[in-house]
Amino acid sequence: MNRSLRPCLSLPRHCRVRRIPARRWLVTDANADNYITVLGDKYPKDSKTNITSAIMDKLERKLHLQPSHPIGILRSMIETHYPGFTALSNFSPVVTPAMNFDDLSFPLDHPGRSLTDSYYINSDHMLRTHTSAHEVETFAKGIRQWLLTADVYRRDEIDGSHYPVFHQMEGARIFHDNPNGIKDLEEDNARLSAHLAKSNIVIEDVPHVTSTNPAQVSHNPKHAELVALNLKLSLNSLILDLFGGRAGAGEGEPLRVRWIEAYFPFTSPSYEVEVFFGGKWLEILGCGVVLQSTLDKANVPNSIGWAFGLGLERIAMILYSIPDIRLFWSQDPRFSSQFTPGQINTFKPFSRYPACYKDVSFWLPDKALHENDFCDLVRDAAGDFAEDVKLVDAFTHPKTGRSSQCFRINYRSMDR
Ligand code: PHE
């Protein structure tokens, strides 16, 4: 972390600040030498190293493997919904930029690659930003239908629904692109359509393939349509299983699901899915027909299939009525004792502590400061006490041209 980001001690005009002891702004031992140890492995640091100690603390928690944690409970419920799929959940969060981006055809100028969006250990290693980072290696193992759950890391702002670590579940299924494979696909589509036809669900769909959301040139257009249909039917029935008949979907009302055309570098056609719950449309996943180049990289010939990526916190917050994403990381028994494997119940809040606002302002370093850089400093210093951070003022000195910013940090403890 760049030390010039430490708050300047000569304070700009608009500030009304409590000084934070400078010591807390230095990034710990990680800066002490030229190496950084992540999950027991030592990596040389370089100009890309931007992982913080607050993030390092999260690497070992593995919430998705805890059987009585909402994230772990949701993982097993989804795994139960897809019998016959191989469940994987032990992949290291440390990946190469090639796995996270290049193998998935991300363009070189994609914003996700930037230091302000992702955590890098060094130029050759980073924390995965999505579970899709493991698509190639999983298909390469010869597994043709699988679910992979993992913690993923993205630099972000601070508020009640954003957290730099969250959990995703990737699901994928490929069919043999030959008469037998296509017959399996058609039979599965018929089975799923019959199930959904007798269920209380209303689906707002979009065409499977359009000129703006095209089938891939190497695909037989009819097969691509059948795969896209299988993807939609498979996810509609999962969503029905998770959300159907629950309070929030609307008393006695059908469950409403809406499909939207989307873009991802590694699928075509691509979609996002939203569920109507608690009076609002909520986006819960992205998906699409796997790009042929991904399967080629994995050495899987003559196959065609789909993949999806679900945000588990998003879904758990809705289903359990968990109001703040920080709660998932709470080790307070008043949180953890509320959940039971296999069950979805309404979370009962145990803290109503007041918000506590503190403003901090500082001169900006010569190179610009990204808001995410400031948020990572706050997370390192304040941990989960920081509920949200907002830029409330900016000032440029008319004579010197120096600029300053003022951020308002809301500290609120969830448990004390
Ligand atoms: N990895 C994508 C994301 O994190 C979601 C996705 C997964 C999209 C699989 C398509 C296929 O947003």
The domain limits of the chain are 3-33+353-411, 48-350
End-to-end CA distance of the chain: 31
**Alpha helices (runs of H) in 321-398, residue ranges in sequence order:** 333-336, 371-382
pLDDT score recorded for residue 2: 35
CA dist 209 and 345 (Å) reads 39
Residue of 104, 130, 231, 259 best suited for mutating to test ligand 1, as the one with most atoms within 8 Å of CB: 130
CA dist 330 and 336 (Å) reads 8
Burial 66-75 (b: 16+ CB within 10 A, else e): beebbbbbbb
pLDDT score recorded for residue 144: 98
Give the CATH fold of the 3-33+353-411 domain: Alpha-Beta Plaits (3.30.70)
pLDDT score recorded for residue 31: 52
Enter the CATH code of domain 48-350: 3.30.930.10
User: What are the CA-CA distances from residue 184 to residues 175, 223, 226 (Å)?
Assistant: 8, 12, 11
Q: How far is the CA of 202 from the centre of ligand 1 (A)?
A: 24
Q: Per DSSP, what are the bridge partners of residue 275?
A: 257, 282
**Residue 100 burial (C-beta neighbours within 10 Å; 0-12, 13-18, 19+):** buried
pLDDT score recorded for residue 58: 96
pLDDT score recorded for residue 352: 72
Q: How far is the CA of 256 from the centre of ligand 1 (A)?
A: 22
Task: Give the type of residue at 210.
Answer: T
pLDDT score recorded for residue 160: 83
- pTM of the predicted structure, to 2 decimals: 0.87
| Regions of the chain where pLDDT drops below 70 | 1-32
Q: Tell me which residue has tokens 């896209």.
A: 228
pLDDT score recorded for residue 243: 93
The ligand 1 site (C-beta within 6 Å) comprises 130, 132, 170, 264, 267, 286-288, 307-309
